[in-house]
Amino acid sequence: MLTKRQLLVLKEIIRSFTESGQPVGSKTLMAELPIHVSSATIRNDMAALEEQGLIKKTHSSSGRVPSTKGYRFYLDNLVEPTAVSANEIAAIQQGFGGHFYKIDEIVAQSARILSNLTSYTAITLGPEVTNLKLTGFRMVPLGNHQVMAILVTSNGSVESQLFTLPPEVDSDGVEKAIRIINDELVGLSLGEVAQKLQTEVPAVLFKYMTSPDGFLDIFGNVLKKAAAERFYVGGRLNLMDYLGDNDVDQLKRLLAMMDSEQGNVNALLGPLHDSHIKVKLGSELTPDVLANLSLLTANYSVGEHGTGMIALIGPTQMPYSKMIGLLDAFREELAKRLTDYYSHFDQ
């Protein structure tokens, strides 16, 4: 059980080390603590904190630095989020001030804004796609059996892909199949559409097409693309600022993870959680490629349109009060921007 003075000492060591990057000694603490105590008393408190594994001594200095356990204790018991400045709010709002044609553009921009504000690596996941509905599907012939398949969803997103039609799929059959898709499936959620593709739709298409498999493959591929959860990364190269020269392998593995499929990022960020901002440190993180780093995650809600996540990856030596306050304000601004975008489709 720490005394009130020891809590003050730990809090000041973390604040000072975060700002300066230098080990903190008793003389520095004596000058910065909000209470007047002798240097000897502070040294005794530091010894008690060190004995409990909350701070540690560096090899070349009499000063102390926080341990991972110390940061964890601080985050669980002492951290107080800092209010975001008016300039930072203005910078966020200005970053979202442009015209966006798709949800993905807003989500991608949010990662760029957050990484620029923090100088860390930011990851943003868009709102869940479970509530998206199919609003239209068409195929535009391009010649030489090539078509562009276009699928539109209820949030205004448009997915398109180029395909080469199988020789056995004739244009009249395609037109009839497109009408069936729009008559039977428009207005359903993407999940319901995917289910009907496996059950009811093939039987209906067989009445109009000799072999509907090629058409179903095309529609299914575009649908899968529309239903995929997307993530965007801002400030990848910022990792180089807080990973040392001996961490080249770790840097390569992190960059590979960010460039890979959604599954790896889901493993990194974990599931959507409650509204609290979560911080994980070092060994608390999986996979082990994140050792010696910190991960901050926060949900944001867009009402019936779902919930997304924003995250920051940075060094353990991070100004947590400032970052937690910033993430809290940022997710509110992002949710406002997305809600405003969706409002055009909810009328």
pLDDT digits (tens, 9 = 90+) for 75-93: 999 999 999 999 999 999 9
Residue 61, pLDDT score: 66
CA 124/CA 147 separation, integer angstroms: 33
Residue 155, pLDDT score: 72
CA 195/CA 287 separation, integer angstroms: 33
At residue 56 the predicted structure's pLDDT band, cuts being 50, 70 and 90, is very high
Whether the Cβ atoms of residue 177 and residue 208 lie closer than 8 Å to each other: yes
pLDDT at residue 272 tops 80: no
Residue type, 280: K
pLDDT at residue 22 tops 80: yes
* CATH 3.30.390.60 fits domain 134-227: yes
Average pLDDT, the chain: 86
Strand ranges in 174-256 using DSSP code E only, listed in sequence order: 231-234
pLDDT at residue 251 tops 60: yes
Q: Is 219 helix (H, G, I), strand (E, B) or coil?
A: helix
Q: Which CATH architecture has domain 4-77?
A: Orthogonal Bundle (1.10)
Residue 125, pLDDT score: 87
3-state secondary structure 20-45: HCCCECHHHHHHHCCCCCCHHHHHHH
Where along the chain do the CATH 1.10.10.10 domains lie? 4-77
Residue 130, pLDDT score: 64
Residue 190, pLDDT score: 85
Considering the entire predicted model, what is its pTM?
Answer: 0.79
Residue 245, pLDDT score: 66
Q: What are phi and psi of 226, to 5 degrees?
A: -70, -30
CATH number of 86-128+230-346: 3.30.450.40
Residue 17, pLDDT score: 93
Where along the chain do the CATH 3.30.390.60 domains lie? 134-227
pLDDT at residue 319 tops 90: yes
Whether the Cβ atoms of residue 103 and residue 341 lie closer than 8 Å to each other: yes
Where along the chain do the CATH 3.30.450.40 domains lie? 86-128+230-346
Residue 60, pLDDT score: 62
Residue 189 is classified by DSSP as B
Structural tokens at position 84: 């975001």
Mean pLDDT of 190-210: 82
At residue 163 the predicted structure's pLDDT band, cuts being 50, 70 and 90, is confident
